[in-house]
Chain A
Amino acid sequence: MRLTQPQHPFSWLRRPFSWLRRPWLARVGLIVLLLGLWEIAARWWVDPMFLAPPSRVVMSLGAVLETRGVPAALRITFWELGIAFVLAVAIGLVLGLAIGLAPFARKSVMPIVLLLYGTPQITILPLFILYFGIGPASKIAFGVTHGFFPIILAVVAGVQNIKPILLTSARCMGASRWQVLRHVVFPHMIPSFFAGMRLAMTGVLLGVLLAELYVSTAGIGYFTALFTQNFDPARLFGLIAMLAAMAIALNEMVRRAEAHFSRWHAE
C-alpha cells in the first residue's frame, strides 16, 4: 500500500513555480508570455501603422468578418483548398497505382516524377495564371500540382512494400485483378497513403496560398493586399490568424484520419 504525501494547503506559496514542472503548462505560459510582450511592444514602442497589439487583433476579428467580401473570400479559399486536395489525392492515387504496380513503369517513370517534384514550381506560377485565369481555377490547379507528387510517391512506396508472397498467394487462390487490388494492395497501402495525404495537404495549402497571395480578385489574397496597403495591421493580423486556424484545422483533420486508419496496421 502506498500512502500519498500529506499536502501542505499552501504548498504553491512555498514553491510558486512548481506548476512549471508540467511541460504543457510551461508551454502555455510561454505563449502567454510572448503574447504579453507583443501587447506591450505594440502598445508603447512600435508605430501603430505596422503592429497591432493582440487585444486589438482579437477585437478586430468581428470587424474583419463584417468587411464586405471577407466571408465570401474565406469561403472561396476554403473551397479552393478542398477541391485542390480532393483532385490531388484522386490524380495522385491513379498515377501512383499505374506507376507502382508495373515494375517497368516504376523504373522508367519514377525518376521523371522525382525530377519534377524537385523543381521549384513557384517559377511557373505566372504560367498558371496565364492558362487558368486569375479566378479560383488557377489556385486550384497550382494547389493540385503541389499536392499530387507526395501522393504518387506514397502510393508507389506503399505498393512496393507489399510482400510478393501475399500477391502470389492471392493469385493462387484465384483472386481477380480487382480482388487483389481491393483486398491486398489497398489495405497494405493505407499507412503510407495517409502519410502521403498529410504531405499533400501541406503542399496544397502552400500552392493555393501562394497563388492567392500572388494575384487574386475575390479570395483572401485580395484582402491581405488591401489591408497591407491601407496600413491596417489589426485587420491584417486578424485575417491571417483566421487563415492559420483554417490551415491548422485542415492539417489536424488529415492527421487524425491518418492515426485512425493506420491503427490496425500497428502490429
Chain B
Amino acid sequence: MRPGAKRRKGYLASRSVQAAFLIVLVALWYLATSRWHVSPILLPSPVAVLFQLWDIVSTGEFVGDLAVTLRELAAAFGIAVTGGILVGYLVSRSHYRIRVFEPLFAGIYAIPIILFLPLYVLFFGLGPASKIALGATISFFPIALNTIAGFGYVDKAFVAAARSMGASDYQLFRYVLLPAALPVILTGMRIGFTVALLSIIGSETIASLAGLGHRIVHLAEGMEMARMFAYIAFVVAIAAVLNAFVSTLEARARRAR
C-alpha cells in the first residue's frame, strides 16, 4: 500500500471513531430518556431539546439576549485592546519599566480576577457596566503582557541595523518593531478575547439582569430543562463561531504582514 493511501485510511478511521463517539453519545442520551426513565428534570430528551432549539431560532427570541451579550463583549474587548496595547507599548519602551511592571502584571494575572466580581457588582451595579468592567479587566492582562513581550524583546540587531540605515522613529516602528511584535500581540488578543467572552457569560450567570448567561440561569430556576439545554447548545455554538472567527482573523493578519 502506498503511504498516502495508508495515511488516508488512518484519517478515515479516526474520523469514524469521532463520528461513532457522537452517535453513541446521542443514542445513550435518547435511550436514557425514553427507555430507562431518567427524569426529564435531570435530562430532557434530545428530541425535545431539538424542538426547543428550533423554536428559539425560528421565533428570534434569542436576539435581545444575544445583542446584550455581544454589546458587552465588544465594549469590554475594545477597552482591553486599547488599554492593553497602549500600556504595553509604553512599558516596553524602556528596559527599566519592563522590569518594574512586567512582574506586577504577571502577578495580578495569576490571581483569579473573577473573585472581585462582588466588588464590581457593588461599584457598577447589576447591569451591563459591571460585566464590561470585569471583562475588560480580565482581558487587559494577557493583551498588555503579550504587547510587552512583543515590543520589548525585538532583536537589538534589527533595531541597530535599521537605525544605521537612517530609519526615523516612525519608520523604525512601522517596518521593524510592529512586524516583529505583531504575532505575539495577536496571540495576546486572541487569549484576551476568549477570557473576555468567558468572564462576561460567567458574570451574567452569577449576577445580572439580561444576556445569554442570565437567560440560562432563568430557565434553570424555572426548571424548563429542555429549553435550557437548547440555550446551552446555542451559546456553545455562538462561542465556537466567535472563537473560530477570531482565530481566522489572527491567522490572516499573521500571513498578511
Contacts and interface: CB of A to CB of B under 8 A. Distances in A.
Interface in A80-108: 104, 107-108
A108 B13 contact: yes
B201 A104 contact: no
Interface stretch (B77-85, B115-123, B174-182): B115-123
A247 B13 CA distance: 44
B216 A30 contact: no
B241 to A, nearest CB: 12
A107 B205 contact: no
A200 B18 CA distance: 26
B206 A213 contact: yes
Contact of B115 (A123, A202, A244): A244
B184 to A, nearest CB: 19
B112 A206 contact: yes
Given A126-B228, A206-B112, A209-B114, A120 B198 contact: yes
A50 B198 contact: no
A237 B119 contact: yes
Interface string A16-43: 0000010100110011000000000000
A97 B213 CA distance: 35
A108 B18 CA distance: 6
Kindly state the interface size class of chain B when it binds its partner.
35 or more
Interface stretch (B55-63, B140-148, B232-240): B232-240
A243 interface: yes
A77 B201 CA distance: 23
Contacts of A30: 100, 104
B243 interface: yes
A107 B10 contact: yes
Interface residues of A, number: 47
- Give the interface SS of chain B, mostly helix, strand, loop or mixed: helix
Contacts of A118: 240, 243
B56 to A, nearest CB: 14
Nearest to A25: B100
A26 B122 contact: no
B202 interface: yes
- Give the interface SS of chain A, mostly helix, strand, loop or mixed: helix
A209 B112 contact: yes
B236 A123 contact: yes
Interface in B105-149: 107, 110-112, 114-119, 121-123
A214 B206 contact: yes
A112 B100 contact: no
Nearest to A226: B118
B244 to A, nearest CB: 9
Contact of A23 (B96, B205, B228): B96
A131 to B, nearest CB: 7
Interface of A: 21, 23, 26-27, 30-31, 50-51, 104, 107-109, 111-112, 118-120, 122-127, 129-131, 202, 205-206, 209-210, 213-214, 224-225, 227-228, 231, 233, 236-237, 240, 243-244, 247-248, 251
21 contacts: A21-B96, A27-B104, A51-B123, A111-B18, A112-B18, A119-B236, A119-B240, A120-B239, A122-B201, A123-B236, A126-B217, A126-B220, A127-B232, A129-B220, A130-B42, A131-B42, A202-B112, A210-B206, A213-B114, A213-B117, A237-B119
Interface of B: 10-11, 13-15, 17-18, 21, 41-42, 96, 99-101, 103-104, 107, 110-112, 114-119, 121-123, 197-198, 201-202, 205-206, 213, 216-217, 220, 228, 232, 235-236, 239-240, 243
